[in-house]
A = this chain, B = another copy of it.
Amino acid sequence: MNELEPEHLKSAGLKSTLPRLKVLDLFKNGQERHMSAEDVYQLLRESGDNVGLATVYRVLTQFEQAGLLVRHNFEGGKSVFELNEGTHHDHIVCMQCGHVEEFYDSAIESRQKKIAAELGFTIHEHSLQIYGDCTKTKCPHRR
């Protein structure tokens, strides 16, 4: 169990409050890498911390804007967040069990840049997800 790190919040221009530290700690030291607002809310609740759902949503959005987290809009309507570790990557999601794997492919990245340029766009960000079924042997995850 590592200690909390208020300096990360400070440097992001956010004052160091209990809910923010707890959410950040969940992402840094928790077992789940990809979590929705509801996931975070439940996990905090289970560990005895009484944090409001509205606060969870606020904090996640602030962290995203501060660059601490990255938001993903997978299918299913809910946003999923993960720690921003500087290394961009895309996702492949199992439609059976919800398991998520990350990947990065420089060929895809460079093609995207080229395409955007050809079409006269200044690229801001992109979103690439592959949806499929992971092989039965590794599939038994939760949904």
Contacts and interface: CB of A to CB of B under 8 A. Distances in A.
Contacts of A26: none
A107 interface: yes
How many copies of this kind of chain does the complex include?
A: 2
A103 B115 contact: yes
Main SS class of interface, A: strand
A73 B129 CA distance: 11
Contact of A127 (B94, B111, B127): B127
Interface of A: 73, 75, 77, 92, 94-95, 101, 103, 105, 107-108, 111-112, 115-116, 119-135, 138
- Which 5 interchain pairs have the tightest Cβ spacing? A121-B132, A123-B132, A126-B130, A124-B132, A128-B128
